[in-house]
Amino acid sequence: DAGVTQSPTHLIKTRGQQVTLRCSPKSGHDTVSWYQQALGQGPQFIFQYYEEEERQRGNFPDRFSGHQFPNYSSELNVNALLLGDSALYLCASSLNRGASYNSPLHFGNGTRLTVT
């Protein structure tokens, strides 16, 4: 049973560039959430996708956008990269049960993004 898979595992970009990160949810899960984890800190919620729509968004600028595909996989796009965007980007999947918090999140191992 495949868990949450993310690609790539590591990425180095230059300020101003754009990046796309990919996530495949755990088998049977239909909801995908993205989190940003800076070094030494807890993850910060970026947004959650369900039924191919953004269901809730955290306190992140519009430079951060996403997409969910019919097979439940998801992409996170970040435009106009800043040095401060350097972080571990975590994807988590869950099963929607009406009230999302009833389905614990399962995380991938993340994509380490470095912006120079």
Partner 1 sequence: GQQLNQSPQSMFIQEGEDVSMNCTSSSIFNTWLWYKQEPGEGPVLLIALYKAGELTSNGRLTAQFGITRKDSFLNISASIPSDVGIYFCAGHHMDSNYQLIWGAGTKLIIKP
Separation of alpha carbons 47 and 76, rounded Å: 9
Closest separation in Å from C-beta 91 to partner 1: 8
Do 20 and 4 form a contact (C-beta atoms < 8 A)?
no
Examine residue 55 and tell whether it contacts partner 1 (CB under 8 A): yes
Cα distance between the two ends of the chain: 37
**Candidate ranges 13-21, 50-58, 60-68, 69-77; the one touching partner 1 (CB under 8 A):** 50-58
Contact with partner 1 (CB under 8 A) among 13, 20, 22, 44: 44
For residue 12, what are the CA distances in angstroms to 19, 88, 113, 116?
10, 12, 6, 7
Contact with partner 1 (CB under 8 A) among 18, 77, 79, 109: 109
Contact with partner 1 (CB under 8 A) among 59, 62, 83, 84: 59
103, with CB counted inside 10 A (0-12, 13-18, 19+), is middle
Closest separation in Å from C-beta 106 to partner 1: 7
Question: Interface residues with partner 1 (CB under 8 A)?
Answer: 4, 33, 35, 40-45, 48, 55-56, 58-59, 90, 92, 99-102, 104-110
